Amino acid sequence: MTTMEWEHLPVPDLTGRTVVMTGASDGLGREAALQLALWGADLVLPVRTRSKGEVVAERITRETGRPGAVRLTHLDLADMASVREGAAGIERLVGPGGIDLLIHVAGLVTRHHEETIDGFERMLAVNALAPLLLTETLLPLVRERVVVVASDAHTFGSIDLGDPHFRRGGWSPGAAYGRSKLTTMLWGRELADRLHARGDGADLQLVHPGWVLTNLQNATGSARLDRLVTEVTRPIAMPARRGASSVLFTATQPLPPGSYIGPDGRGALRGRPTFLRRSATALDRDLAREVTAWAQSEVRSAPS
């Protein structure tokens, strides 16, 4: 637990608990998946690339000595039809026992303006719309908690429901990433309220992992420049194992519904998990309901 930097708390016992987690093929998701399995969780990992998922599953089996700890299913967050198929696959794998923890870690940064097969701006689709669709589809099966990896990048994001996919211009990696994360914060706020009203004990938590050395930052288009960015930021950024700490804390510790957790260091770049402030926009309940309704409409309109 010392690597988690919250050794003052008891080690979670997840024996017999079913955890569904996206983004486990790489980076902090991979490290979080291993730790959850070491704590006894049974993992269902939706992956886009089966071979990468199998590498993670083999590592978890080797380090936990639990051959049945991981089950894989295919899911591509850039394709809403695949998200629906992936959700059906998850339902088959978890069966009547349901899902204890649903954790969204997968994320994307692109260098250029791109649209998915559904016509959605790619970062908005992968970082916000697909997690919403997967959550809404699986929500009747969730018994305890939904954890969504957001970002302090939401503070420089803006919402424009008249042009959410930047078709009239204004796209930049920062603007699009910020919008995707603000959208995530807003639908997370709305769903937290909805789960609280449901009253069955399930909740939603948002988490900002901090600055973590993962493939997410390798978005310059140049392998040489990617290496330079990695080396320059290495003194600031956390390794993936440490970066997973806030996600694991948020997934396993008692928290008020709808909390926003992240590192306690300067700029929330690194440190121990703590409660973070979110922007005033991210706290706007009326906007949260409006954005959630829009996002639900968008994913419903995507071809099956």
* pLDDT higher at 237 or 83: 83
Task: Give the burial string for 266-287 (b: 16+ CB within 10 Å, else e).
Answer: eebbbbbbeebebeebbeeeeb
The predicted-structure confidence for 35-65, as pLDDT tens digits, reads as follows: 999 999 999 999 999 999 999 999 999 999 9
Q: Is residue 260 annotated as part of the catalytic site, yes or no?
A: no
**Measured distance CA(279)–CA(193) in Å, rounded:** 17
Name the one residue in this structure whose structure tokens are 């990992």: 45
Please give the pLDDT value at position 234. 45
Task: Name the DSSP letter for residue 15.
Answer: T
Neighbouring C-beta atoms of residue 13, cutoff 10 Å: 11
**Measured distance CA(219)–CA(120) in Å, rounded:** 19
Identity at 27, one-letter amino acid code: G
Band the pLDDT of 237: cuts 50, 70, 90. Answer: low
Identity at 82, one-letter amino acid code: S
**Measured distance CA(208)–CA(63) in Å, rounded:** 27
**Measured distance CA(20)–CA(90) in Å, rounded:** 8
Q: What whole-number percentage of the chain has pLDDT above 70?
A: 90
Band the pLDDT of 233: cuts 50, 70, 90. Answer: very low
- What token pair was written down for 11? 């080690």
**Measured distance CA(27)–CA(210) in Å, rounded:** 13
Nearest 5°: the CA angle 90, 83, 101 is: 45
The predicted-structure confidence for 248-288, as pLDDT tens digits, reads as follows: 999 999 999 999 999 998 888 888 999 999 999 999 999 99
**Measured distance CA(111)–CA(212) in Å, rounded:** 19
Please give the pLDDT value at position 10. 82
Identity at 198, one-letter amino acid code: R
Which residues neighbour 33 within 8 Å (Cβ) at sequence distance 6 or greater?
21, 24, 43, 45, 56, 60, 70
Identity at 50, one-letter amino acid code: R
**Measured distance CA(261)–CA(259) in Å, rounded:** 6
Catalytic residue among 120, 177, 211, 249: 177
- What token pair was written down for 157? 């994001």
Write the DSSP assignment of 170-188 as a string of letters: ---HHHHHHHHHHHHHHHH
Report residue 232 CA to chain centroid gap. 26
Q: What is the pTM of this model?
A: 0.91
